[in-house]
Chain A
Amino acid sequence: MKLTLHIWRQKDRKDAGKFVRYEVPNVSEHMSFLEMLDVLNEDLQGKGEEAIAFEHDCREGICGSCGFVINGEPHGPQDRTTVCQLHMRTFKEGDELYLEPWRATAFPVVKDLVVDRSAFDRIIQAGGFVSVNTGSARDANSLPVRKEDADRAFDAAACIGCGACVAACPNAAAMLFTSAKVSHLSLLPQGQPERYDRVVKMVHQMDSEDFGHCSNHGECEVHCPKGINLSNISRMNADYIKASLFMSPREGKEESGA
């Protein structure tokens, strides 16, 4: 099939950027979206032009590297699919597609379709971990976990941090990402001692990164390639409200953060 692409080209962070039109003939329906771009890039390089920059790594839909917006939808029109697992059979002859990077202040464009998602790393660094003292690991089954909680924690832990939730949100909020990272620990016994400190630190870090607020449109959930549920946001809010308003403050110092 033949496609017309309008791809966002931006040299570096400071460049204003613009859409450039490309005609791509002979697209096989068996190609993934990224393979189609590979073919286009080979052609561009053959003509001495600069290749289109996009991020990718595993191309199996699990690493969270790839992702851009296709016709207003992060990762394109197919549910629960990263753009590397999106195949060209989803499109038809003559389709006109607009490819844009995630658009958020917190995710500055590095080049073309590549954005800098270090803001996510800083949210994790603020508290998205369990502090473990040294010693040997305990026996696997000595710590009982309710099956339903284990399932929910696992569902939340499926977040690959691709950033599609931020891209999809009309407010560029990182609530779904942060709530998934808060939830997968807060649902398990290992996450309990730091549960309330963690949620406060991560939410304050999220706010300080210039992400927006949640207005409960639900766009993040439907565009999440891993189907992370909105109820994680409800869970995070409950913990944040409890930790901020009702729990005794941490000994010795005021909560640091944003």
Chain B
Amino acid sequence: MGWLLRFFNSTIGMKVVMAVTGLLMYGFVIIHMAGNIQVFLGEEAINHYAQLLHTSEEVVWGARLGLLGAVVAHIVSSVRLIMLSGKARPTAYAKRTYTAASFASLSMRFSAILLFVFIIYHLGHLTSGTFFGEGFKLQPGLKVNDVWHNVSTAFKNPLIVGFYVIAQLSLGAHLYHGAVSLFRTLGLAGERQQALVKNLARAIVGAVVVGNISIPLAVLLGLAGK
């Protein structure tokens, strides 16, 4: 098993962990957005979708634990790499000019921190209801959230909507650099694929961010929800 340990202790191996777990979370984020924009189809559609997801608690918890594992591995790997990076350049340049690095690539660790805070808030807000305050409701007779009611109430608050929008913009930046980066890390982005990868990343990230932001904004503006 020494070979496996050696791989995961190499810088490329740690990047592969970032890429594979990132890809898993990519899948989640896309499904999460696609499922939730059913808010625009009305109460019955979105609440039915919530029931569908909870058809089997075993499957729900399996998926949750899988995602939690991916998040933990992603964070552990990133912390290891950031420490190595600090060791590799302990003295900063007096002047620094970036030419190719983008806002997204340079802000990865900061968007990550913002996303971490947001995910904890979001889980407590709309999944468990802990941070929701008064009025968090389950669907009558079920152990499933009344998504229609909760979303309609929560996003009447402009401060909460503002935080969601900012978090989604940082998600967009994180996802964009993540997509471009993960293909190269996994050795899948040669000269031929580079433009394709960038355009694909733009399309997916654009769809996820616009889709996600549209929900709280539409509720706030009275275009969706009750």
In the complex, the answer to whether A223 meets B181 with C-beta atoms within 8 Å is no
The 8 A CB mask of B170-211 against A (1 = contact, 0 = none) is: 000000010011011111111100100000000000000000
Asked whether A234 and B11 contact (CB < 8 A) given A171-B85, A172-B88, A210-B87, the answer is: no
Alpha-carbon gap, A234 to B197, bound state (A): 13
In the complex, the answer to whether B101 meets A219 with C-beta atoms within 8 Å is yes
Q: Which residues on the A side are within 8 Å of B112 (C-beta)?
A: none
Interface size range of chain A in the complex: 35 or more
Q: Tally inter-chain residue pairs, CB-CB below 8 A.
A: 152
Alpha-carbon gap, A173 to B101, bound state (A): 14
A90 within 8 A of B: no
In the complex, the answer to whether B187 meets A241 with C-beta atoms within 8 Å is yes
Q: Which residues on the B side are within 8 Å of A204 (C-beta)?
A: 6, 10
Q: Which residues on the A side are within 8 Å of B92 (C-beta)?
A: 103
B15 within 8 A of A: yes
The 8 A CB mask of A200-239 against B (1 = contact, 0 = none) is: 0001101100111111111101110000011101111111
Asked whether A203 and B89 contact (CB < 8 A) given A215-B108, A230-B184, A234-B187, the answer is: no
Residue of A nearest to B10 (CB): A207
Instruction: Please choose the segment from A50-58, A68-76, A189-197 that sits at the chain B interface, where 4 or more of its residues have CB less than 8 A away.
Output: A68-76
B63 within 8 A of A: no
The 8 A CB mask of A6-27 against B (1 = contact, 0 = none) is: 1000000000000100000000
In the complex, the answer to whether A203 meets B10 with C-beta atoms within 8 Å is yes
Interface size range of chain B in the complex: 35 or more
Q: Which residues on the B side are within 8 Å of A170 (C-beta)?
A: 85, 89, 101, 106
Q: Which residues on the B side are within 8 Å of A207 (C-beta)?
A: 10-11
In the complex, the answer to whether A212 meets B15 with C-beta atoms within 8 Å is no
Consensus secondary structure, chain B interface: helix
Alpha-carbon gap, A204 to B90, bound state (A): 21
Shortest distance between the CB of B23 and any CB in chain A (Å): 14
- Other-chain contact of A216, B12, B88, B184, B187 (Cβ < 8 Å): B184
Alpha-carbon gap, A68 to B81, bound state (A): 26
Q: Which residues on the B side are within 8 Å of A218 (C-beta)?
A: 100-101, 105
Asked whether A241 and B89 contact (CB < 8 A) given A213-B81, A217-B101, A219-B98, the answer is: no
Asked whether A173 and B11 contact (CB < 8 A) given A98-B95, A217-B101, the answer is: yes
Alpha-carbon gap, A239 to B71, bound state (A): 27
Q: Which residues on the A side are within 8 Å of B190 (C-beta)?
A: 231, 234-235
In the complex, the answer to whether A215 meets B99 with C-beta atoms within 8 Å is no
A254 within 8 A of B: yes
B16 within 8 A of A: yes
Q: Which residues on the A side are within 8 Å of B91 (C-beta)?
A: 103
Alpha-carbon gap, A5 to B7, bound state (A): 45
Q: Which residues on the B side are within 8 Å of A73 (C-beta)?
A: 97, 99
Shortest distance between the CB of B8 and any CB in chain A (Å): 9
In the complex, the answer to whether A203 meets B12 with C-beta atoms within 8 Å is yes
19 extra A-B contacts, CB within 8 A, seeds A171-B81, A216-B184, A249-B3? A69-B93, A72-B93, A73-B97, A98-B95, A170-B85, A170-B106, A171-B89, A203-B11, A206-B11, A210-B87, A212-B85, A215-B81, A217-B98, A221-B100, A222-B99, A230-B184, A234-B187, A236-B187, A241-B16
